[in-house]
Amino acid sequence: MEESRFWSVEPSVREAYAEDASGLIGSPDAVARPTSEEEVAEIVRLCADRSIPVTPQGLRSSTVGGPVAFGGLALNLERLNRTIDIDMERRLAIIEPGVVLGEFKRPLIDAGLFYPPDPTSENECTVGGSVLTNASGSRTYQYGPTRRYVRSLRLVLGDGRTTEITRSRASKNTAGYFGFQDPVDLLCGSEGTLGIVTRVTLDLLPAPPGFIAGMAFFLRLGDALGFVVSADRARQAGLLEPRCLELFDDASLDLIRPHAGKLGIPGVAKTAIFFEQECEPDEESIVLDGWLDLLERARALAEDTIIATTEEQFLELRELRHALPSEMNERGRRARDSGGGKLSTDWAVPIEALAATVEDATRIAGETFGGPFVRYGHIGNGHPHFNLLAENAEMLARAREATHRMAMLAVERGGTITAEHGIGKIKRDYLRYQYPDWVVQAMRAVKRTVDPKGILAPGNIFG
């Protein structure tokens, strides 16, 4: 590609936008960083005319290679970053996709508003990236994924046409196939393959009155998983209202201990569960009693439970949660120098299949991979991440085999191959485990309709 007023072909710029957090390194021929929707549309039209592939990018925190371009144009949306309107009355936010998610959320709380999706990477990812991957976070356990808050989207299709889609406001709708009744749902999680999103309208909630947060410790992983199932049952019975339940296994605790400062992780602890519940400030002690009661019955080290009673302690706990994937990513990056790397699973299973699947997946990690691994994450959603750290190419091949087997296992147990990161270029082979061939063909047909030349995010989701 030649230099143009729309994009740069400078080698240093192309290199700077070539990779994401998965470690996959692409080779874009050019990089564009438009500042308006009109510019995006002009670029896509130009690329469609010349059949140039266009790979949209946010902040490239993807763990599956979604924003990595092999040839063609890397279309980075980070400069489309204006907040257009926060409508306090209707509780709506209209923003451009390049706004950093954490920066969008911070001022909302002061205004008495709340946007629940909280991927651990919220300070390293864009709102657009979170919509296009239908990102989740710890609070998805109570509030659901990003999709639930997306009201409308403006986007540029593969031929350069601009269009807007908005959810129907009717409380019932039976017009056409379910997946198409709200096309917003087709776009959320479409990983750049159906259009370039240029504007997002999000539903906001009133800020919760307050909440408690804690970290409970256990001597055995099995006890911790039993506690998660009990907490989930207590939620269904209306006895507790956890908004998140997050796992740290023994290897995870070893990794976060150096970051724990004054928080005091007991030396004997082999597993921890991080939990939160919203409540009125004057209900805190009743709510806490409910949790401590459940913890005692679940054989937790109840006395050692850390309860965050101040904002500062709460932030320390959340930072601790964030330290883990960051530390694993860093180790993965270092391992790449010797041909290795980090592989992360993203499968999820129904809560009733959780304990058996974690046990079987742990056996697969031990037997098929045989190297170091940690298990952590969104356990309340049946969604623990297994991170396998391969020190060389031979170990990496074994890690791939192990994660592949785990994905198949999750589907057998009624779960999914990917609960939040998406398929990207790294998990394409798994798609066939989850859907019959005709479903995949139908998805391809939708893509062909809006992107007849197949220029948008080639290689994502489908081979």
Ligand X SMILES: Cc1cc2nc3c(=O)[nH]c(=O)nc-3n(C[C@H](O)[C@H](O)[C@H](O)COP(=O)(O)OP(=O)(O)OC[C@H]3O[C@@H](n4cnc5c(N)ncnc54)[C@H](O)[C@@H]3O)c2cc1C
Residues binding ligand X (CB under 6 A): 20-21, 55-63, 66-67, 77, 97, 119-121, 125-126, 128-130, 132-133, 135-137, 191-192, 196-197, 325-326, 329, 420-421, 457, 460
Phi, psi of 373 (to 5 degrees): -150, 155
Nearer to ligand X, 123 or 368 (CB): 123
Least distance (Å) from ligand X to the CB of residue 449? 17
Least distance (Å) from ligand X to the CB of residue 159? 15
Residues sharing a CB contact under 8 Å with residue 409, sequence separation 6 or more, in sequence order: 347, 357, 360, 361, 364
Nearer to ligand X, 26 or 67 (CB): 67
Closest Cα to residue 361, out of 378, 383, 340? 383
- Residue indicated by tokens 């290897």: 251
Give the CA angle between residues 449, 452, 455 to the nearest 5°.
125
Q: Count the neighbouring beta carbons within 10 Å of the beta carbon of residue 110.
A: 8
Nearer to ligand X, 60 or 404 (CB): 60
Least distance (Å) from ligand X to the CB of residue 104? 12
Least distance (Å) from ligand X to the CB of residue 348? 12
Rounded Cα distance, 260 and 418, in Å: 30
Count CA atoms closer than 13 A to 198's CA, side-chain side. Answer: 23
Least distance (Å) from ligand X to the CB of residue 164? 14
Nearer to ligand X, 62 or 142 (CB): 62
Q: Supply the DSSP symbol for 148.
A: G
Nearer to ligand X, 132 or 225 (CB): 132
Least distance (Å) from ligand X to the CB of residue 209? 25
Nearer to ligand X, 121 or 403 (CB): 121
Least distance (Å) from ligand X to the CB of residue 133? 4
Nearer to ligand X, 158 or 325 (CB): 325
Residues sharing a CB contact under 8 Å with residue 121, sequence separation 6 or more, in sequence order: 21, 61, 325
Q: How far apart are the first and last CA of the chain?
A: 24
Least distance (Å) from ligand X to the CB of residue 301? 27
Structure tokens, 116: 């629940």
Nearer to ligand X, 28 or 67 (CB): 67
Q: In the β-sheet with 242-248, what is the strand arrangement from edge to edge?
A: 306-308, 211-218, 271-278, 242-248, 373-378, 383-392, 339-344
Least distance (Å) from ligand X to the CB of residue 289? 30
Rounded Cα distance, 160 and 86, in Å: 28
Strand partners, 158: none
Rounded Cα distance, 152 and 167, in Å: 6
Nearer to ligand X, 136 or 142 (CB): 136
Rounded Cα distance, 361 and 65, in Å: 24
Nearer to ligand X, 242 or 332 (CB): 332
Rounded Cα distance, 227 and 355, in Å: 11
Strand partners, 212: 277
Nearer to ligand X, 299 or 453 (CB): 453
Least distance (Å) from ligand X to the CB of residue 314? 18
Strand partners, 389: 342
Least distance (Å) from ligand X to the CB of residue 92? 19
Q: What is the DSSP string of 258-306?
A: GG-GGG---TT--EEEEEEEE--GGGHHHHHHHHHHHHHHTTB-GGG-E
Count CA atoms closer than 13 A to 452's CA, side-chain side. Answer: 7
Strand 205-206 relative to strand 196-203, pairing: unpaired
